[in-house]
Amino acid sequence: MELTRKHSFHGELTVPGDKSISHRGIMFGAISNGLTEVTNFLQGADCLSTIACFRQLGIEIENDGSRVLVHGKGLHGLKGSEQVLDVGNSGTTLRLISGILAGQSFQSTLNGDASIRKRPMKRIFKPLSEMGARFQCWDAMHFPEHPAKSSSDCAPFTIQGGSLRHIHYQSPIASAQVKSSILLAGLYADGITRVTEPVLSRNHTELMLAGFGANIVSTETTAAVWPEPVLEGQSICVPGDISSAAYFIALGLISPNSEFLIQNVGVNPTRSGILRAALAMGGNLTLLNERTVSGEPVADILVKSSSLHGIVVEGELIPTLIDELPVIAVMAAFAEGETVIKDAQELKVKESDRIASVTENLTAMGADALPAWDGMIIRGGRAIHGARIHTYGDHRIAMAFAVAGLNADGVTSFDEEQCVAVSYPSFYEDINKLLA
């Protein structure tokens, strides 16, 4: 695929359902009693991996391409699978399902693609082991034909669940995947399980589990869950994914003569740091029709072309825009002055090392972008030209650099551009809709 500069984007757009909320709808539905209906479910590869894993664990799940029906079997209704559970590219599936599997009396083995096999799992092994689960990692080279033990902290691994002790875990990282994994294991523990984070991460698990009937309380950066709740199936309407809307927010702000409305976007404050960052950069964004849907704040976002300037992105803001940092870095290259991104070392352990993949591709396009150990520094204002983008199979790198390519001189091309299907299968079609 090749992209060249386009002059203006107009109209209206609805982005697909939120990835984090779609995963949780399936998982929490599976361990609840009766039927859970998930509408506007994200039909991206990651969430389809979650469906496949829970089907393998004995849950009937109907998927008509938009609405998903999960026939839940209650907290203790999952069945062990002889086959390896394949999470594909999805870190959320792997880390959250591990919390649930920690509370089951059977053994499960989990694996995923080449990217997932490099992602750190010690962050969940440590707390879940403290609770009583046991883990064995396998050498990926010889797996599964010749299983050889490995001392790595990555997939593939086997988890032996069982009766769990409650803990109060002081998490060294602000990670909703870690927090959620422990809270889900806490449903099976012998007392109240608590997780304290250094900075609050996205709270979809806390909001949605409460909606299913769990006793779960959040106080500042601590979440506490009571064990053995009776969870009842729910109707969940998934809002549009702000992480997907972020590419269009950036596109509208940096492209001249553009104005469009992105409808039905989830704007939960633990996720909407992109709005705060874009406004601080001088972006012309307006939230319209603010409402609450399935316990989550939702709005329509009006985006207009803007002259942007550099900012510092750091501290408590980071977990609220962690997945949006690649496209914020692209915006920074089109802004006047310097943008500093710090406290974001988590970028190194995402689907690619995003400090390296972002700065390498920005540099290839002529931008002034320097990597740092916990982020990057981008000095805007240089002419940006087309280049060959190395996506590293990372959906967020492909989409962030599509936004850059649509505003660059000359041609931008990509390797593995189809990796966008992980979270946004209709991404390229949706760009064309705003050009029509």
Q: Which residues are catalytic?
A: 323
Output the smallest distance, CB 89 to ligand S3P, in A.
11
Is residue 22 involved in binding ligand S3P (CB under 6 A)? no
Strand partners, 149: 138
Helix or strand run (H / E) with residue 363: helix 354-364
Q: Does residue 344 bind ligand S3P (CB under 6 A)?
A: no
**CB of 179 closer than 8 Å to CB of 205:** yes
Listed ranges 171-179, 250-258, 259-267, 354-362: which one lies at the site for ligand S3P (CB under 6 A) = 171-179
- Interface with ligand S3P includes 92 (CB under 6 A)? yes
Q: Provide CB contacts within 8 A for 64, sequence distance 6+.
A: none
Q: Which is nearer to ligand S3P, 104 or 244 (CB)?
A: 244
- Rank residues 98 and 180 by Cβ distance to ligand S3P and give the closer one: 180
Give the CA distances from residue 380 to residues 177, 253, 363, in Å, rounded to whole numbers and listed in that order: 33, 15, 12
Distance between CA atoms of 267 and 275, rounded to whole angstroms?
A: 9
**Residue whose tokens read 């806490």:** 186
- Closer CB to ligand S3P, residue 171 or residue 407? 171
Residues 356 and 371 sit within 8 Å (Cβ to Cβ): yes
Closer by beta carbon to ligand S3P, 206 or else 323: 323
At closest approach, how far in Å is the CB of 409 from ligand S3P? 32
Beta strands 107-111 and 85-86 are parallel
Per-residue b/e over 111-139, b at no fewer than 16 CB within 10 Å?
Answer: bbbebbbbbebebbbbbbeebbbebebbe
Q: Is 394 in the site for ligand S3P (CB under 6 A)?
A: no
Residue in 50, 175, 234, 305 binding ligand S3P, rule: CB under 6 A: 175
Binding-residue total with ligand S3P (CB under 6 A)? 11
Interface with ligand S3P, residue 176, by CB under 6 A = yes
How many residues does the structure list for the chain? 436
Look up residue 250 and give its amino acid.
A
Give the single-character DSSP code of 134. E
H/E element, 145? none
Retrieve residue 282's tokens: 């001088």
Binding positions for ligand S3P, 311-340, rule CB under 6 A:
322-323
Measured from the CB atom, the residue of 175 and 361 that comes closer to ligand S3P is 175
Task: Check binding of 255 to ligand S3P (CB under 6 A).
Answer: no
Site string for ligand S3P, 60-89 (x = CB under 6 A): ------------------------------
d(CA 309, CA 306): 10
Name the segment binding ligand S3P (CB under 6 A); options: 105-113, 172-180, 276-284, 404-412: 172-180
Residue 205 vs 258, nearer CB to ligand S3P: 205
Check residue 346 for interaction with ligand S3P (CB under 6 A): yes
Cis geometry, peptide bond prior to residue 144 (ω within 30 degrees of 0) = yes
What is the binding site for ligand S3P (CB under 6 A)? 20, 92, 175-177, 180, 201-202, 322-323, 346
